[in-house]
Amino acid sequence: EADIYQTPRYLVIGTGKKITLECSQTMGHDKMYWYQQDPGMELHLIHYSYGVNSTEKGDLSSESTVSRIRTEHFPLTLESARPSHTSQYLCASSDAPVGNTGELFFGEGSRLTVL
């Protein structure tokens, strides 16, 4: 069973608010990822990290930012939320010390609604 946790599970906020979606994993994985998924749609990579102090933007342009100060923690922040940010955000981690064999372990997701 995967040990990766996301909070909050559900969040409804007003436009302009600053929010942080938390993601923590207890598996010691180096690689962590944030995906954005709209209902019935594919997953789009918005951020990833190969380890502490490493962060990269993904394929989908996002106004969010991330940080990786500790191995186990990979929070995502929106400085000023807008209705276009309404979506589900999925955090994942992977442990692949050699090659690219490792599967991703996903959290339960954070469903954000911006009014």
Partner 1 sequence: AQKVTQAQTEISVVEKEDVTLDCVYETRDTTYYLFWYKQPPSGELVFLIRRNSFDEQNEISGRYSWNFQKSTSSFNFTITASQVVDSAVYFCAPKGGSYIPTFGRGTSLIVHP
* C-alpha closest to that of 73 among 100, 55, 96, 97: 55
Report the alpha-carbon distance of residue 17 to residue 104 in Å, rounded: 31
- The site string for partner 1 over 50-89 (x = CB under 8 A, - otherwise) reads x-------xx----------------------------x-
107 touching partner 1, by CB under 8 A? yes
Residue 78: count of CB within 10 angstroms of its CB? 20
Q: Footprint of partner 1 on this chain (CB under 8 A)? A: 31, 33, 35, 40-43, 45, 48, 50, 58-59, 88, 90, 92, 94, 96, 99-101, 103-109, 111
